[in-house]
Structure 1
């Protein structure tokens, strides 16, 4: 029996999983903080949140402090507007975080759809979000129902706040109270005491000149070209465009009136502004301030504008359709001057008219400043664009898929570590500022010394934030390119390589710009950052 036992051969199967050390078994925890205002009291709240969660996470022996993700002075209505929030989500997807702690649902997201979407995405990969105020851990079974209800409440609170602000603004407008930024239009300054519009006599001369030229029969493009030739800049130090002149001659402020609520918030989720086309009331104040243009001349200008538009058959709907009727509109850029190429008909009225794309600056500049870029035939650039799209489809596995893999790995962790290091340095500066404030409060620092040292720390804080932002921008450029690559691959697969003609939606989804240097040097810049050099065949 003993011989049988001794003769048995035992094979040891080594463990395939390493025993976790105490450090490795800890939950990797981070916090997300946000304030939606840049007012000083809100930024103090922001600083308090950062300090609180740094100490809170480090005090738990079962947690490993990953870092603080913080968006300062940024609206919470949309997650895409918050760079650190998007960085947090990406780090979770990369397996760098196990638990996210945040103050409340309203700090995390005020949009129910965003909140539920993010929580579900993180929950699917085993990552929980703990909302401290509501005491909700999203990994618990009942969390989603409670979270849905509470986030809906947060969203409704935001909508209610937006309506209250709108009501307050409309009440002020109805009382004739408003604020105007005069640096956005020529001719006026604001009296610092009375807060009323006063004429800037030097700028008013140019306003009068523009109205005189317009009423004499000159078109807006002609006036703009002449001002550019004279080297006269706009109020924003830019070159004049016909559209700029058109807005000026329609601006009621030049005849002494004010129209309020020209634009409104489209919805309370995205907070995008749009023209008020009758959805909300407008408020018109006649003779609010001293006019630059007489009311008679202003009304003549409005009548002339309407007559010219109707003579061309340019109603608002027609103008909008014309702007978007060609797939390559606003896509083709002049490689010589950087202006957009516009679609024109050459040899119009002859036996052999030809559609081409021509540099728009040629219509605005003359003489020595005239752009030297040539035109390109519409059929040539259209055929080339179709060829490029087909090439992309048939090179999915050789170009776009490897590029996507590269984006997923390119210095991602390195950049994240550097951002985390800046976060740590920022926390250290905040701690130093608190110590300094305590010393000052106890009388251990003179006001002069406190101010000097506090200013020094503030400058250091600003510099650290700038450096962090540079890295964050680079990081999110990679993320945006990755998302755009996914979309491009999906759209190309939908075509199955069959692209008989250009489709505007397909072009918009894949191509950012087409830079034309010459017929033999055309660069297609894709939405995901890839640049493809091409040329038009003979």
Structure 2
């Protein structure tokens, strides 16, 4: 027998998804309204998807969706065993037409996100996924499908803004606008490489040859001197010229000093390697811009080769943080 209250919730879920809402948004709305699940728990996107894929709400029943293997373990039936459909098994809450329309919408959304149906893992990530950062709250942007009349387009939205609009006011930006801005930015680099990239390369090379290298050399001398002092302490201790307590105190101080020198040296080497890496990135970019013709279309490979992150300053201005260490702003 159908529970009227639960039936209304099921109808609401199907209607919301058909209106264009994602499963996470529907779950968030139900939680915000204070409506618990059948078991009294909070709603999740997984719970919503489970309802949307359950044929029992159409009045049908599929038998043997799970089976027990030879070791008595319960398993989901992905085709290993026959399944049996019994139509009009019980009273329906949702029509077959609505159920099929929702299934088509979910399949389309999964296709757009590059999700494999069975294991629910991303198969082909988009170039911008995880790389767009909100300047207001620091959250990453999520890919969404927006509608403008009959036309649909891809947009990127701040995840915090989506979850709680009062915590971040940053609005969405269009996928096509980001791509156009990237093309403009790359064309500026191609045209003005001698004014932008060459001075950056010379500055980075100058940094490599100066402060860090000389500081590393100074630390190596101090580490060597520290080692000689500890060796002398050991000799004095061995000959009985030092009390054990004094030896331990002096040796511990020298050891702490040596550790400090080593940490500084490692940090400088790390920084130096970072600068060398940036030198290589700038060199690669210069090689590309020297040979490249002006771009007319967005290129995924070029974006992944040279861009580390995108920072969104507003709906009309973004910054491309390049792997070589510079950030170039573009208006959209």
Q: Same fold (TM over 0.5)?
A: yes
Contact 2:161 2:171 in 1 (8 A): no
Structure 1 partner of 2:329: 533
2:164 is aligned, of 350, 366, 383, to 366
Query: Secondary structure, in 3 states, of the residue corresponding to 1:466?
Result: helix
Contact 2:157 2:171 in 1 (8 A): yes
Query: Secondary structure, in 3 states, of the residue corresponding to 1:416?
Result: helix
Query: Secondary structure, in 3 states, of the residue corresponding to 1:343?
Result: strand
How many Å separate the matches in 1 of 2:291 and 2:188? 15
How many Å separate the matches in 2 of 1:394 and 1:317? 46
Q: How does 1:96-495 map to 2 (within 5 A)?
A: 218-219=43-44, 314-315=116-117, 319-323=121-125, 326-347=126-147, 351-363=150-162, 365-366=163-164, 368=166, 370-410=167-207, 412-495=209-292
Contact 1:488 1:509 in 2 (8 A): no
1:400 deviation in Å? 0.9
Relative to the length of structure 1, the TM-score reads: 0.40
How many Å separate the matches in 2 of 1:460 and 1:531? 39
1:221 deviation in Å? 7.9
Unaligned runs of 5+ in 2: 1-36, 49-71, 78-102
1:392 deviation in Å? 0.8
Larger relative contact order (Cα-Cα within 8 Å, sequence gap ≥ 6): 2
How many Å separate the matches in 1 of 2:38 and 2:232? 65
CA 1:435/1:214 → structure 2, altered by over 3 Å: closer, same or farther? farther
CA 1:318/1:469 → structure 2, altered by over 3 Å: closer, same or farther? same
Deviation sequence 1:126-179 (CA, Å, 0-9, x none)? xxxxxxxxxxxxxxxxxxxxxxxxxxxxxxxxxxxxxxxxxxxxxxxxxxxxxx
Deviation sequence 1:461-508 (CA, Å, 0-9, x none)? 1221222233323322221110001111223345322x2322221111
How many Å separate the matches in 2 of 1:455 and 1:213? 64
How many Å separate the matches in 2 of 1:414 and 1:376? 42
Unaligned runs of 5+ in 1: 1-211, 224-295
Structure 1 position 524 matched with structure 2 position 308 = no
Structure 2 partner of 1:515: 311
How many Å separate the matches in 1 of 2:119 and 2:161? 28
Contact 1:355 1:378 in 2 (8 A): yes
How many Å separate the matches in 2 of 1:314 and 1:431? 63
Query: Secondary structure, in 3 states, of the residue corresponding to 2:124?
Result: helix
Relative to the length of structure 2, the TM-score reads: 0.63
Q: Quote the RMSD (CA, aligned, Å).
A: 3.5
